[in-house]
Structure 1
Amino acid sequence: MDNIKDTVLEVIYSILPIAIVITVLQFTIIWLPMEAFVQFLIGVLFVGVGLILFLLGVNVGLLPVGEMIGSALTKTKMIGVIVLFGFLLGAVVTFAEPDVRVLSSQIDSVSGGAIPQSILIMSVAIGVGIFVALAMFRIVFNIPMIYLLAGGYALVFIMAALTPSNFVPISFDAGGVTTGPLTVPFILALGVGVATVIRGKSASSDGFGLVGLASIGPILSVLILGVIYG
């Protein structure tokens, strides 16, 4: 019950400021049609209920399961299995990420179908999967994160110079949407689970940094799409 109460309060504190600001603007400056304002209030209610249910699901299901999967994979002591399932889980959870689907539909709309929605989602998912697998490899062999981040972004800047300019902002947005409400908790829990088994509870912080590393993958994959479609 405490978990439900804390989640409800967290959502209220998150949504209330924007609801208050838009309400003040409505009756002082913008004066939207009352029908549109009522739709906004209904939307706020739906978003609030949806966020409460979603956060409860994350806390009850995604986080514990992600951590248990990471622990179980590490106990196999098979590096290939850890890396392979890191790739598969990173790709699959990205397919389910709502932010990725919003971005892909927007790009499909403004490009007139020149960049198919399915191709963009698939390339982003593969990019995340590859870098989550790389993150698993980093945790196993204790490779400093700075080396991977520096190398990854150096490759990003090289690819950006070779890609048509209109693909560059799309690629960075693709990196941003993968840090959504579904991908982040699962990948973080997975990394903490792997790091905890390998180097003990005191070193479980080694599991962090996966999201920053994983966000490089979709940037590179969309830049590669730019080379292909450009």
Structure 2
Amino acid sequence: MISFTIFYSTLISTLQDVFPISVIIAGFQFVILRKPLANPVRVLVGFVYVILGLTLFLLGLEFALFPLGKTMAMQLTSPDLLTEYRISLGEKLQWIDYYWVYLFAFFIGFSTTIAEPSLIAVAIKANQVSGGAISVNGLRVAVALGVAIGITLGCYRIVVGDPIHYYIIAGYVVVVIQTFFAPQLITPLAYDSGGVTTSTVTVPIVAALGLGLASTVPGRNPMIDGFGLIAFASLFPIISVMGYAQITQWLNRKSECTDETIKEKDNAV
């Protein structure tokens, strides 16, 4: 059970973190705008909910998500679990032997991104601003697929020992090329999608996975090779979201061309 002392210290820490934001908002509201709050009681109750929610969320991360991510990473990257037959034969581990790590990285990257509160908020706002043109679930799935593919590729990079800057440079070259061809409506949102993925749910497990993998793969340095998965989780959602928009645009054009062809045939008849 979580003791009251731990809950109290986390609550105080949350209040200290939220206090500067509250001061800035209140300062602009009452000093600059010089207007009272429309629903002060409702705002105060919502503020209390935010404080309690953040406190419980941080406690959940510390007591559940952090230990779980570390444990899973260490167990999945253990050489004894990966390939007992290669160890018994005295053979060197190959990159393909870490297939369970790749599968775990893909699914954990997808699931944690789907659960990201920041991504949900951005997707809802994008749907509202675009008048329904941008689907909430479509955007979330596109971002989650990008994170999943990025983390999987990042784990492969750790296993084979390739320098990280080659992958990042190549990825941003793809992003720059896509920017010229993707719909202008989705391009700014795609760039923002790379940032909302690296939040409180995804980062703990992804960082633990990278450090655990670098610690167990022979010849890898946790400091040099363990970090960097977050960069993949930020880069590939940009590619996936713009790719999603390009595919959707192509399908819509194809559908319009098909409808026009059918109309022309009907008019000819």
The code of the aligned residue for 1:24 comes to: G
Deviations 1:145-192 (A, max 9, x none): 111111111111111111122221010111111012211122112222
SS at match of 2:184: coil
Secondary structure of the structure 1 residue equivalent to 2:39: helix
Residues 19-98 of structure 1: pairs in structure 2 closer than 5 A? 19-75=22-78, 76-77=81-82, 78-98=97-117
Shift in alpha-carbon separation, 1:72–1:123, aligned structure 2, 3 A? same
Counterpart in 1 of 2:166?
A: 147
Moved more, 125-134 or 77-86: 77-86
Residues 34 and 161 from structure 1, CA distance in 2 versus in 1: closer, same or farther, beyond 3 angstroms? closer
Partner of 2:235: 216
Shift of 1:20: 2.2
Q: Distance in 1 between matches of 2:190 and 2:56?
A: 31
Matches within 5 A, 1:93-172: 93-172=112-191
Structure label with greater radius of gyration: 2
TM-score using structure 1 length: 0.90
Q: Is the 8 A contact 2:30 2:36 kept in 1?
A: no
Answer whether contact 1:19 1:44 (CA < 8 A) is retained.
no
Q: Alpha-carbon deviations, 1:59-112, whole Å to 9, x = none?
A: 111111111111111113231111111111100111111111111111222222
Q: Which letter maps to 2:192?
A: D
Would you say how many aligned residue pairs link Structure 1 and Structure 2? 229
Match of 1:12 in 2: 15
1:180 alignment partner, SS class:
coil
Unpaired stretches in structure 1, ≥5 consecutive residues: none
Identical-pair percentage: 36
Distance 1:26 1:117 in 2: 31
1:120 to partner: Cα distance: 1.2
Q: What is the CA distance between 1:37 and its match in structure 2?
A: 3.4
Q: 1:26 to 1:184 in 2, by over 3 A?
A: same
CA distance in 1 between partners of 2:55 and 2:218 (Å): 34
- More displaced 10-residue stretch of structure 1: 168-177 or 3-12: 3-12
Q: With the length of structure 2 as denominator, give the TM-score of the two structures.
A: 0.78
Consecutive unaligned residues of structure 2, counting only runs of 5 or more, are: 83-96, 250-269
Measure the CA separation in 2 of the matches of 1:215 and 1:65.
22
